[in-house]
Structure 1
């Protein structure tokens, strides 16, 4: 069976500084992989490279998504194929209502895939159903995207986008950043509802607490731009207790 995502010897740099140094990772459909590691290890760089964020130079290796060359695709092609990145710091877009943004994003993807656009009433019904589960009220949907939102509201909004777009690969870049425990539970519940045998997830986090709520199948330690250890969910507990110092010295 072809893996959903296969990363082989990935090397990447930004501004002439090498960040990823031969990273290997395979994610199959139905799996949740957690990636943990110290600041500067390359966790966010990996998420940006997968999403196609400009400015990152790929100097070696390959990334295959469902057997296709992901790195050859534009960011919108990747999104249409089913790649979704939930940002650590979601962007604010003044003047664009949240529901307008959601409609535009969904229908842009449907057009790219040759599918019929969703009518406004059908889309609104679907958005309201998902929003209700995530504790997002109708007033929030009318507000400009993420403008004046709390950290929890921004992350719930990202989870709403993810549920609406139904991607095949969800990359969550420190989704727990800035969340109190109540917001964390709501977001994690929304993510868990998206678990399926057809979908894979990469959960990037510093802390084990998120993995109490989004339980991973596999945990990886990323240090100095490559994965230096892989284990089960118990590895996250070990990291919480011992920290990352030993892996930083191994990677050096």
Structure 2
């Protein structure tokens, strides 16, 4: 589904450009959940932004193939229509735009890119209620402006509702567990499993901590350090990191 080969990327422009990714290679198959862990500054969020097509990040070498297409040749909205979803560590607020309006426009724009008919208002609201129920989010929250006045946990749950409505093939979740208390963590973990655990979907979880992986059990755990994958293992690697720390595990 996703194949990254020798990816190099910088952030910034001109003489101030700073190399962040330095030869990263990774492959995700449909039906798999991969977790990426690593110390601050390792390049975890940069990887997410490069895959999502965020401006300000330049790929200087390597390739990324997604669903059989050259991902780096596609605009961000084309990547989304192809089935890529990027969850942000800090979801942004959009004053003046309701969640319902935003999500219906986003979904129908993606359906249009794929040559599909738009959903009617009634069908969309039915879908939105189903997905909000999975994340225990009141529908009244979706009538409010996007993330405005939401707590950290509400923002993350609303973002997972967005993921459920858009129905991506690949979800890249950048520190989705950030700012969540124990109850919200359980709800979000359950939502990820319900939405993305399928034979034709895959998840790339970026996290500092093992706690989310208690609820979303990964098939593979990768340690990212200094812009590349330095170690890969199973769920036990995350437990080892939690117990021993990055320095000790990577030194070994």
| TM-score category of the 2 structures, normalised to the smaller one | over 0.9
Q: 1:204: which partner in 2?
A: 206
Q: CA deviation at 1:244?
A: 1.1
Supply the distance in 1 between the matched residues of 2:66 and 2:131 (Cα, whole angstroms).
27
Q: Give yes or no for the alignment of 1:8 onto 2:5.
A: yes
Supply the distance in 2 between the matched residues of 1:61 and 1:67 (Cα, whole angstroms).
16
Supply the distance in 1 between the matched residues of 2:249 and 2:104 (Cα, whole angstroms).
44
Q: 1:68: which partner in 2?
A: 69
Supply the distance in 1 between the matched residues of 2:26 and 2:137 (Cα, whole angstroms).
35
Supply the distance in 2 between the matched residues of 1:119 and 1:68 (Cα, whole angstroms).
30
Are the equivalent residues in 2 in contact too, given 1:11–1:23 (CA < 8 A)?
A: yes
Q: CA deviation at 1:134?
A: 1.1
TM value normalised by structure 2: 0.96
Moved over 2 A (4+): 246-250
Are the equivalent residues in 1 in contact too, given 2:241–2:249 (CA < 8 A)?
A: no
**Deviation per residue, 1:90-121 (Å, 9 max, x gap):** 01000001111110110010011111000011
The alignment's C-alpha RMSD in Å is 1.1
Supply the distance in 1 between the matched residues of 2:135 and 2:69 (Cα, whole angstroms).
34
TM value normalised by structure 1: 0.96
Supply the distance in 2 between the matched residues of 1:174 and 1:66 (Cα, whole angstroms).
24
Q: Which runs of 5+ in 1 are unaligned?
A: none
Are the equivalent residues in 2 in contact too, given 1:41–1:225 (CA < 8 A)?
A: yes
Q: 2:245: which partner in 1?
A: 243
Q: 1:217: which partner in 2?
A: 219
- Across the two proteins, how many residue pairs are aligned to each other? 247
Supply the distance in 2 between the matched residues of 1:10 and 1:247 (Cα, whole angstroms).
24
Q: CA deviation at 1:246?
A: 4.2
Equivalent residue of 1:193, what SS? helix
**Deviation per residue, 1:131-160 (Å, 9 max, x gap):** 112111121011100000001110001100
**Deviation per residue, 1:159-186 (Å, 9 max, x gap):** 0011111101100100000000000111
Supply the distance in 1 between the matched residues of 2:25 and 2:161 (Cα, whole angstroms).
30
